[in-house]
Chains A and B, each alone.
Chain A
Amino acid sequence: MNVKNEMKLCFKSISENEGFARTAVCGFCAMLDPNIEEISDIRTAVSEAVTNCIVHAYRGTIGTIEITAKILAGNELYIKIKDKGCGIPDIEKAMEPLYTTAACEERAGLGFAVMESFMDSLKVKSAVGRGTSVTMRKKIGVRYEQT
């Protein structure tokens, strides 16, 4: 991995930090010169991942969320969002669109579906009782023009 730039962010899993986290990551990736749609995609994907940590990983408790963002060669953004929360017993099930364990709180069950569709790649690693990490990548400036 050819890393051109890197930043790390640690913050408490309180909902006030959802806005802070997505804004901070978008500020960092501004040097890749993304267009408005790319910024929106990144902002939304980060918001989903951080919300998952708050709603699910640290349910009923407060822990630390760690975000690592990197700018890679080829104008690619790398984002890793990590928690030390409860972990996901069945990742495949958790990633199914509309599946949620928090329906009574009006969670739509779309977090991973949004991350998957708004970013180029999504990897989820989890161990029950130890935590979860979500890694997303997106190439910036790829314009899908017809040839």
Chain B
Amino acid sequence: MPVRIENKNKRTTAFLSGEIDHHAAPALRREIDREIMENMPSELVLDFSDVTFMDSSGVGLVMGRYKIMSGFGGNIVIQNPPIQIKKVMKLSGIDRLAAICSV
């Protein structure tokens, strides 16, 4: 499973892993969206600790979840992105929509 999801106190955390590209993104999207719709969390955390590769398909994934979350007033956090992934995120300007944090 390329994503493990935890729900706690109105916060949903999706622990992503492996390579996020155009091939992998749709399955991740489906899994995460199902949890969001079920739990309507106030915060969605996307954890990238175990992601080994990401191209702009990952940016699309974050943008799409951002739209859904902001639709009902929730926010989104990008957690522990490795350096390469942070580089792609920064280039996209998505760090203006979602906080990037390390824990």
What distance in Å separates the Cβ of A33 from its nearest Cβ neighbour in chain B? 19
Judged by a CB distance under 8 angstroms, whether A92 is at the interface is no
Q: Please classify the interface of chain B as helix (H, G, I), strand (E, B), loop, or mixed, using the class held by over half of its residues.
A: helix
Whether A111 pairs with B23 at a CB distance below 8 angstroms is no
Residues of A within 8 A of B19 (CB): 19
Give A47 to B21 CA distance when docked, in angstroms: 8
Residues of A within 8 A of B4 (CB): none
Range, interface on chain B: 20 to 34
Known: A47-B55, A51-B57. A108 touches B21 (CB 8 A): no
Judged by a CB distance under 8 angstroms, whether A121 is at the interface is no
Give A37 to B29 CA distance when docked, in angstroms: 28
Residues in chain A within 8 A of chain B (CB atoms):
15-16, 18-19, 22, 37, 40, 43-44, 47-48, 51, 54-55, 105-108, 110-111, 113-114, 117-118
